């Protein structure tokens, strides 16, 4: 489940670029393979969770409650639609899925959206027959097409076999034999020639191949994105298999806390606890600010993608909370804070988050420069923390 969410978030901005490329009918091979450079961070401030994450959480929530997959898919989908356009100015779901959500369309899609959301089922069940049966139930409501069933099952079975320590060769042979997918791709050829499509039959095999071709979890995500196409979904699918095969570095998991809304964090933690694993998303920073009364749920959902975490040893004047104005109106906020490794870092975070919360509450209004007043308030929050610590 986490592997799918990481793949979705990391791949989100690349998928936006691929759609632009599709309109221009040109593939930029050199641009695609830049992601293979390990010095390029996986997570960028422009990244965002998309429908892949939302619907993965919906399936997990259904497993934790009544197994009514259709009810939860529609509930989560409608909730997202009500939020308006996504971060990139697009509809949060494809046109067909939006129509299905609003009961205008029978779910006969053969797109890859059925497979990117399925990872929780393979992690939840320990019997192969149960995995297949529940995967079909979770696919049916919106993707009642044989290609969709095949795609969802293939992904779920890859995860199931990876969880049960089967070799890549075993997984490859099983999928080719039982699902008819030809997984004999050439990575460089895909990077140069693969074109955007959301059809399951033309994207699921490529996603599985990227996992088979990888050396570790991060390598899986990078290679998945390097072939272009529907980048967030391909990376989500490949990442969901790679998670159980390799495991995920804790530093990557920790980054998710900046991108996910509270309700999805809670579902992820509940799901992993239910399958007997440690809750992965502690969100210690958020919990700390709740304790210090520097907290507003809408603020944290907003600021999580506006934060740039700098090294702890940076000079103090590198950090700050910066209001961005448009014709005198407070339009946006950028927050630069140190990674918390010392008491000094905590105080800097308290100070700058105090500024950011105050500015958040003034978004969309005429900006007033009240430097002294703002500084006094932020300094007072530092003093309250110090006093509490001494007690």
Span 144-195, pLDDT tens digits: 899 999 999 999 999 999 999 999 999 999 999 999 999 999 999 999 999 9
pLDDT score for 210: 98
Residue 296 pLDDT = 79
- DSSP element (H, E) containing 61: helix 51-64
Which superfamily is assigned to 2-274 in CATH? ADP-ribosylation/Crystallin J1 (1.10.4080.10)
What's the pLDDT score for residue 74?
A: 93
pLDDT of residue 301: 76
Domain ranges of the chain: 2-274, 284-390
Could you tell me how far CA 2 lies from the centroid of its own chain? 8
Q: What is the pLDDT of residue 391?
A: 55
Residue 308 has a pLDDT of: 83
The answer to whether 151 and 135 are in contact (CB under 8 A) is no
Q: What is the pLDDT, as a whole number, of residue 22?
A: 72
User: Residue 4: exposed, middle, or buried by beta-carbon count in 10 A (0-12, 13-18, 19+)?
Assistant: buried
Task: Name the stretches of the chain with pLDDT < 70.
Answer: 104, 283-285, 391
pLDDT on residue 381: 92
């Amino acid at each position: 489940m986490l592997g799918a969410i990481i793949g979705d978030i990391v791949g989100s901005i690349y998928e936006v670029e691929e759609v632009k490329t599709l309109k221009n009918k040109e593939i930029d091979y050199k641009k695609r393979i830049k992601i293979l450079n390990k010095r390029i961070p996986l997570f960028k401030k422009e990244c965002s969770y998309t429908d892949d994450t939302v619907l993965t959480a919906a399936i997990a929530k259904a497993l934790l409650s009544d197994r009514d997959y259709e009810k939860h898919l529609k509930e989560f989908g409608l909730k997202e639609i009500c939020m308006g356009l996504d971060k990139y100015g697009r509809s949060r779901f494809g046109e067909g899925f939006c129509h299905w959500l609003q009961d205008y369309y029978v779910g006969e899609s053969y797109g890859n959206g059925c497979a990117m959301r399925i990872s929780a089922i393979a992690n939840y069940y320990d019997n192969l027959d149960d995995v297949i049966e529940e995967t079909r139930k979770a696919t049916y409501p919106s993707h009642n097409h044989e290609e969709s069933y095949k795609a969802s099952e293939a992904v779920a079975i890859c995860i199931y076999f990876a969880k049960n320590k089967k070799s890549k060769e075993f997984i490859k042979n099983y999928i080719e034999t039982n699902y008819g997918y030809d997984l004999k791709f050439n990575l460089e050829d895909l990077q140069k020639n693969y074109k955007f499509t959301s059809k399951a039959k033309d994207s699921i095999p490529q996603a599985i191949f990227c996992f088979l071709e990888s050396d570790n979890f991060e390598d899986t995500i990078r290679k998945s994105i390097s072939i272009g196409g529907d980048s967030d979904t391909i990376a989500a699918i490949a990442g969901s298999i790679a998670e159980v095969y390799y495991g995920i570095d804790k530093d990557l998991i920790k980054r998710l806390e900046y991108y996910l809304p509270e309700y999805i964090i809670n579902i992820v933690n509940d799901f992993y606890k239910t399958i007997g694993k440690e809750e992965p998303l502690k969100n210690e920073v958020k919990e700390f600010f709740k304790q210090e009364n520097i907290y507003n749920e809408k603020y944290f959902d907003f600021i999580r993608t506006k934060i740039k975490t700098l090294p702890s040893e940076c000079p103090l004047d590198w950090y700050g909370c910066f209001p961005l104005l448009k014709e005198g109106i407070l339009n946006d906020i950028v927050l630069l804070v140190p990674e918390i490794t010392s008491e000094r870092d905590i105080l800097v975070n308290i100070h700058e988050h105090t500024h950011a919360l105050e500015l958040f509450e003034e978004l969309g209004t005429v900006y007033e420069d009240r430097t002294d007043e703002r500084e006094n308030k932020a300094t007072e929050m530092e003093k309250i923390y110090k006093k509490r610590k001494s007690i």
